[in-house]
Every structure is written in structure tokens, then in C-alpha cells.
Structure 1
Amino acid sequence: MATRSTARKTTEAEAADASSQIDHKAVGARLRDARKARGLTLMQLSEQSGIAVSTISKAERGDIALTYDKFAALAHALQLDFDAIFGRAKRAAASPIEPTFTASGQQMIYDTPNYEYGMLANDLTGKRMVPMRAHVRARKLTDFPDYIRHSGEEFVFLLDGALELRFETGAVFHLKPGDSLYFDSAVGHVYLSTGKKPAEVLVCCVDTDAHRPADAI
């Protein structure tokens, strides 16, 4: 039988874990508010973003988690940056970037069926790159409805496990811990874990200037 002290520690740990999870419903509400603020219907946003109406509708309700490529497509169509989607106030353009520390295990988590995204420097707004420490659960190409594509460039460094990067061009790269790969994110790609446990990776995505929102909020 757990003691009162043990029970209290467990409750506190669960609360801390819950607070580190990005709320899918809150994210969905921000997407819905941004769409309505721009006077767009679900169909119009679907046409502008290339994302299915059903997917946008489910995301707005918080019923599903979006992958990075769908986030990027919706952000471009809504003229948003990731900070606004995740509820962060935009840093003033003239403000210098302050060093932003993320303690090990304290990154905000955005969970999807195939990837668990650990958002690094999440408190810093106006970043030109999106750094993440992610766990790759996917193990086969059929785990995905299609290859992932989004504008910009991407860098991945394998921290632990075994990783396969498969591209729609037919190119395949096998990474072991310490290996890295830099590539064009617009080329369809998927990350697959090929070891006994989910691969742990450091990923950095950088959008191209041509696709960055001109008046991101």
C-alpha cells in the first residue's frame, strides 16, 4: 500500500508530466480562431493548404495530432508562425534573441502516433529554426498515409537507436548514433526506427524565406 508521501509524489509527477504536454484541443482552437479571423471556410483553407477538410476539422476539434508538414502547410495558409499556434506571444522584431535554456527532459511534448516531438527552446518566439528532440516510433512505410513534405531544409542527428530515412526518390539512408543527414524537406521523406527501441533524434527544421509568413502573428 502506498504511503501518503509516496502518493503525493506520484500525483505531483503526474501533474508535471501533464503540464509538459502540448494540449491538442488548445492548438486546434487557435487554428480555428485564426481561420475564422481570416474569413476562411474549412474548404477554402483546405484549398490553400492542400490539407483535407476532414483533417483540418479533426485538428480544430483536437481529435488528432498534426505532423510537422501539416502544421507548416496550415501555418503558411493562415500566415501564422509556430509560436502563435502553440500560444506564444510574438517577440518584438527589434528585440535581441535571449539565450534560451531547455533542461534535459523538460521540453514540451507534442505527441503523434509515429513521432513524439520534444519542442526545444519552446519559450523563445520568432525563431528562424524549429529545433526538436524526437522519438521515432514508426517502423514501416505503411505507417504513413504518404511521404512527409514541407518547404525548407532539415537536419537530423541520431542520438540513440537505429534510424532509416527513406525518400520518395528511392534514396535510403541508414543512420547509427552520431550520424547525421541534411536534406531538402520538400522532397518526400519518412523517418523509420529500425532498432529494438524508438530512435531518438535531434531535428532542426528551417523554413525558406520564400515561404515564411510575411506578417506572421
Structure 2
Amino acid sequence: MKNASKRAGAESASQWKPAADGESKKIVRLTGERGESSLMTGLYDQQKAPGKAFDLSARLRSLRKQHSITLEELARRSGLVRSTLSKMENGRMSPTFEVLLKLASGFGMELAELLKPQAFPAPTGRFAVTEGADADQIEYPNYILVPHASNLKSKRMLPFISRMTARSLEEFDDWNRHETEDFMLVLSGQMIFYSDTYEPIVLNPGDSIYFDGRMGHACISGGDTICEAVYVCTQE
């Protein structure tokens, strides 16, 4: 047991190498939302629990929201391509050490700060009630959105009631696209979901669909009445 303990200690110590500026470097596991991960060298706070996974995609989304900047603006500041940033935010790409340095520069911070694990505030028990009569309508050419919980700040998702006024795909000038994940639940009428990836899908009351908002899509009402649905999307 004594020899085994020494070997374990040696293996643990071998992960650490002195950095030029006196700080320590450690292998950090970067884990994306889809479970993909890679090992790379990065500055890491020695006070953190060893082996703890770091969710870079969530960290990037949080920082971009805090700084109120778009992917295009971050691309300009960091010198990285927008598509690369989008892939990292969605856990589909593991960046190199050089890319991490550019990201940190784009946010105007040190690399150690970029790799700092995200801390979520403790639940506050907050809630918001929206009465139907008080809800405002936002009219678009092909649909109407009725926002709910609009007085609640810093939400992680945006809830709406959506009424689809379009009756044919020809009424759209182009596909809808946005950097969100979307969920729709049909309340009344019939909805036909079109996309640039799949065949049209017909949804009736009680049916739902969850989809990637970056995919070109459009929704129209089928049948004789306007379709009404719950629509929830994540914050961009």
C-alpha cells in the first residue's frame, strides 16, 4: 500500500509543470454540451477540485451575454471566424491553446479568467405571472408573438404564445434562422413545420417539436383556423 501511495503521488505531481510566469499549468479537460472533450494545457486555479470538468461552451455563452456582444463582434475582437465561435459555443469543437488565447483577448481578459468555472447564482424563488388580458402582441408579417414573463429580467429562456398567420410557404421571403434552441407545443389549429433540412411536418393540438433555430425553418397554419402554439426559445 505504501508503494502504491507513492506511485499515485508521483502520477499526480507529474501533471504539474512550472510556467514561465511562476504560475502552474495543468491539463484541463474541456467538455462540450454534447459530451465531446479534449485534453489541452491551460492555466488552472490550483484551488479547484482536481479532475473537475470545465464546460467551455457554457462559459463562452455566459461571457458573451455578460459583455452584450454578438458572435460577429466577438469574431472581430478575437480575430477568429464566426463559424468557429459558434461551434465552440455549441460544444462541437475543441479549441487549441492558441485559439483560447485569442478568445481571452477578445473578451479583454487573461486566459486564467477565461478558464474560470462558471458560478451560477443561488435560486431566489422568483416568478412572473402574465395575465392574458395584459399581454402585448408583437406583429410580424407571417406570425404574431405574445411575450410572457416580459417583466422578468435575465431569463435563460424566452416564452411566447405564437399565432401563425401565414397560410403558405410562398409568403416568406426567406427562412427564419437564429442562434437559439426552440420548442413549440401546438394549442389549437394545425401547424405545418417547414425546414431546409427535413420534409414538412404536420403538428396537431398536443403535438410538439424541439429544434435547432440555426436550421432554416418556417411555420404556417393548416386547416381553416389560425394555429396557436406555445413557443419557447433560449436566449441568444
TM-score where L is the length of structure 2? 0.47
- Say which SS state the counterpart of residue 108 (structure 1) adopts: coil
Measure the CA separation in 2 of the matches of 1:166 and 1:193. 11
The residue type paired with residue 147 of structure 2 is M
- Which segments of structure 1 move beyond 2 Å, counting only runs of 4 or more? 93-97
Question: Offset of 1:134 from its aligned partner?
Answer: 1.4
Question: Offset of 1:99 from its aligned partner?
Answer: 1.0
Q: Which residue of 2 aligns with 1:190?
A: 218
- The answer to whether 1:133 aligns with 2:161 is yes
Question: Offset of 1:173 from its aligned partner?
Answer: 1.0
- The answer to whether 1:160 aligns with 2:175 is no
Measure the CA separation in 1 of the matches of 2:122 and 2:138. 30
Matches within 5 A, 1:25-174: 96=124, 98-174=126-202
After the TM superposition, which of the residue ranges 177-186 and 107-116 deviates more from structure 2? 107-116
Q: Which residue of 2 aligns with 1:68?
A: none
Q: Which residue of 1 aligns with 2:233?
A: 205
Asked if the contact 1:108–1:122 (Cα under 8 Å) also holds between the matched residues in 2, the reply is no
Question: Offset of 1:188 from its aligned partner?
Answer: 0.4
The residue type paired with residue 109 of structure 1 is Q
Question: Offset of 1:125 from its aligned partner?
Answer: 1.1
For 1:177, which of 188, 191, 205 is the aligned residue?
A: 205
The size of the alignment, in residue pairs, is: 121
Between the two structures, name the one with larger relative contact order (CA 8 Å, sep ≥ 6): 1
The residue type paired with residue 138 of structure 1 is A
**Structure (1/2) with the larger strand percentage:** 2
- Say which SS state the counterpart of residue 211 (structure 2) adopts: strand
CA deviation string 1:16-71 (max 9, x = no partner): xxxxxxxxxxxxxxxxxxxxxxxxxxxxx9x86xxxxxxxxxxxxxxxxxxxxxxx
Root-mean-square deviation over aligned CA pairs:
2.4
- Say which SS state the counterpart of residue 202 (structure 1) adopts: strand
Question: Offset of 1:106 from its aligned partner?
Answer: 2.4
CA deviation string 1:129-150 (max 9, x = no partner): 1100011001111111111000
Question: Offset of 1:97 from its aligned partner?
Answer: 5.6
Structure 2's unaligned 5+ residue stretches are 1-69, 74-120
- Say which SS state the counterpart of residue 105 (structure 1) adopts: helix
Measure the CA separation in 1 of the matches of 2:216 and 2:155. 24
Change (3 A) 1:127 1:97: farther
Measure the CA separation in 1 of the matches of 2:194 and 2:123. 40
Asked if the contact 1:118–1:132 (Cα under 8 Å) also holds between the matched residues in 2, the reply is yes
- Say which SS state the counterpart of residue 134 (structure 1) adopts: strand
TM-score where L is the length of structure 1? 0.51
Question: Offset of 1:199 from its aligned partner?
Answer: 0.4
Asked if the contact 1:167–1:189 (Cα under 8 Å) also holds between the matched residues in 2, the reply is yes
The residue type paired with residue 168 of structure 1 is D
Q: Percent of aligned positions with the same letter in both sequences? A: 32
Asked if the contact 1:136–1:198 (Cα under 8 Å) also holds between the matched residues in 2, the reply is yes
Measure the CA separation in 2 of the matches of 1:96 and 1:138. 40
